[in-house]
Amino acid sequence: MLNLQKHDKTLMIIVAVLVLFAPFILNPFPTGSAMAQFNAGYPDLMQRFVIFGIFAVGFNILFGLTGYLSFGHAAFLGVGSYSAVWMFKLLSMNVIPAILLSVVISGLFALLIGFVSLRRSGIYFSILTLAFAQMSFNLAYSVLTPITNGETGLQLTLDDPRILGVSATADGGIPVTSLFGLEMRSTYEMIVGPWTFQFNAGYYLCGIILLAAFYLSLRIFRSPFGMMLRAVKSNQTRLNYTGLNPKPYTLAAFVISGMYAGLAGGLMASMDPLAGAERMQWTASGEVVLMTILGGAGTLIGPVLGAGFIKYFENIFSKINDSILHSWFSFLPDGIEDAVVFLIHPFIGKGWHLTLGILFMLVVIFLPGGLVEGGQRIKKWVSGGKNKADDKAPKTEPAE
């Protein structure tokens, strides 16, 4: 038991170190060097890492624990974004009320959709959530234009009636989001030799919230509630005949994961105060499914890894072009160089989605536990035969 807590503590510390030192970890290459394009330590991208991390951690509470596959979770993210932008327009540019409202509204929305969708399970549940999300998306584009501003997306304007704050700054610009005066966009640059490290206020706000969100999910996984959710996935019949009602448990999980999605949406809007309907489209829901599965559904750290992995490679892969490839393979004879570049070409740049699709299929086919399972297998393989006895050792906790 102590071991267990120690294990979780280690996990928590790993995530904390990753988040707090990300500006260093993601910037290993000196600015201006040939490898600098693989740096990911700039504010915009780092914010996306942690925001999608929160989204995936929340999705995992539903899918990883209960096995209910929602194909409509982006709707909650979208609702969170809209709520936050409205808060900026009407109340104040402080991010706290905006984030709170986005969590509350998306929670209520999830309660409504979850209450209806959870009356069915399996593929029917997936289709119901998909239908609700597509409905929200279509409505956001059409009749809800007064609230969502349709195709243009909801943005701040110079005549927003901001109750606590000004409509426009002294120099006539739109005010920026802040945390009690600390602007989200403010960035401190630290120059160490050839390296430039960027510390962005918005990123650290998101990062600390991710840590809180991760900690909460860790507690949920280890709680009686988490155990009941795993029991829902394992055998609903037995749960029923043990005097437990699976519905409120799954609904609670659905609402919690919806609130996580809303939180992610609120943070997105806090970093960049605009919200568009495309955030609610089912392909966006598909993306969080990809992240969770790729990292390892039902594991604690998997979704965070999956989100980071997908967002990192999305950015990096799409930046690689043919001339970069040529410079890499220039050591090869010309003909072979061209052939190699020709073969790799479809998978880079705009072809990133192709790579992602293939990768995702490979994971589902060969590595159902995702990156986490991959890591475990490598660990086992490295430690080799010497602790074969470990296989028989008590497995304290199925969800790592």
Partner 1 sequence: MGILDVKDVGKRFGGLQALGNVNLSVAENSVHAIIGPNGAGKSTLLNCLVGKLVPDTGSVMFDGQSVLGRSPHEINQMGISRVFQTPEIFGDLTVMENMMIPVFAKRDGAFRMHAIENMMAERDIVETAEKMLVDMNMAEKRHMHAASMSRGDKRRLEIGMCLAQEPRLLLLDEPTAGMARADTNNTIDLLKQIKDERDITIAIIEHDMHVVFSLAERITVLAQGTPLVEDTPENIKGHPKVREAYLGEAA
Partner 2 sequence: MDAIILQILNGLDKGSAYALIALGLTLIFGTLGVVNFAHGALFMIGAFCAVTLSKILNLSFETVDETKLDFLGNPAKIKTPYVESWFGPEVGATIIDWAVPLAILFSIPIMIAIGFIMERGLIKHFYKRPHADQILVTFGLAIVLQEIIKYFYGANPIPTGAPEVFKGSYDFGVLLGFDPNAIIYPYWRLVYFGFSALIIGGVFAFLQFTTFGMVVRAGMADRETVGLLGINIDKRFTIMFGIAAAVAGLAGVMYAPINSPNYHMGMDFLVLSFVVVVVGGMGSLPGAVLAGFLLGILESFASMNEVKSLIPGIDQIIIYLVAIIILLTRPRGLMGRKGVMED
Residues that bind partner 2 (CB under 8 A): 67, 69, 116, 119-124, 126-128, 130-132, 134-135, 138-139, 141-144, 282-283, 286, 289, 293, 346, 350-351, 353-354, 356-358, 360-361, 364-365, 368
Q: Are the C-beta atoms of residues 180 and 95 closer than 8 Å to each other?
A: no
Hey, which residues does 179 pair with through a beta bridge? Answer: 182
The answer to whether 11 contacts partner 1 (rule: CB under 8 A) is no
Of residues 186 and 235, the one with the C-beta less far from partner 2: 235
Of residues 31 and 234, the one with the C-beta less far from partner 1: 234
Instruction: Restricting to residues 187-216, name those near partner 1 by CB under 8 A.
Output: 216
Instruction: Restricting to residues 28-47, name those near partner 1 by CB under 8 A.
Output: none
Of residues 335 and 398, the one with the C-beta less far from partner 1: 398
**What is the closest distance, in whole angstroms, from the C-beta atom of residue 282 to partner 2 in the complex?**
6
Of residues 237 and 330, the one with the C-beta less far from partner 1: 237
Q: Which residues contact 304 (CB under 8 A, 6 or more apart)?
A: 15, 53, 56, 57, 210, 214, 295
Q: Say which entry of partner 2, partner 1, none residue 223 contacts (CB below 5 to 8 A, set by partner kind).
A: partner 1
The answer to whether 226 contacts partner 1 (rule: CB under 8 A) is yes
The answer to whether 12 contacts partner 1 (rule: CB under 8 A) is no
Instruction: Choose which of 161, 173, 384, 394 interacts with partner 1 (CB under 8 A).
Output: 394
Q: Which residues contact 399 (CB under 8 A, 6 or more apart)?
A: 64, 65, 221, 226, 230, 298, 299, 300
The answer to whether 387 contacts partner 1 (rule: CB under 8 A) is no
Instruction: Choose which of 225, 313, 347, 360 interacts with partner 1 (CB under 8 A).
Output: 225
E-assigned strand segments in 261-378: 274-275
The answer to whether 398 contacts partner 1 (rule: CB under 8 A) is yes
Q: Say which entry of partner 2, partner 1, none residue 131 contacts (CB below 5 to 8 A, set by partner kind).
A: partner 2
The answer to whether 93 contacts partner 1 (rule: CB under 8 A) is no
Of residues 237 and 283, the one with the C-beta less far from partner 1: 237
Of residues 355 and 376, the one with the C-beta less far from partner 2: 355
The answer to whether 234 contacts partner 1 (rule: CB under 8 A) is yes
Q: Are the C-beta atoms of residues 122 and 274 closer than 8 Å to each other?
A: no
In angstroms, what CA-CA distances link 275 with 77, 149, 297?
10, 9, 28
**Which uninterrupted H or E stretch holds 312?**
helix 302-317
Q: Are the C-beta atoms of residues 90 and 161 closer than 8 Å to each other?
A: yes
**What is the closest distance, in whole angstroms, from the C-beta atom of residue 148 to partner 2 in the complex?**
12
Distance CA 218, CA 202 (A): 24
Q: Say which entry of partner 1, partner 2, none residue 104 contacts (CB below 5 to 8 A, set by partner kind).
A: none
- Residue in this structure with the two tokens 């650290």, named with its chain if needed: 204
Instruction: Restricting to residues 245-264, name those near partner 1 by CB under 8 A.
Output: 245, 248-249, 252, 256
Distance CA 55, CA 76 (A): 10
DSSP calls for 223-262 = SHHHHHHHHHHH-HHHHHTTT--HHHHHHHHHHHHHHHHH
Q: 3-class SS at 297? A: coil
Q: 3-class SS at 64? A: helix
Which residues form the interface with partner 1 (CB under 8 A)?
A: 1, 4-5, 216, 219-220, 222-228, 230-231, 233-235, 237-245, 248-249, 252, 256, 394-396, 398
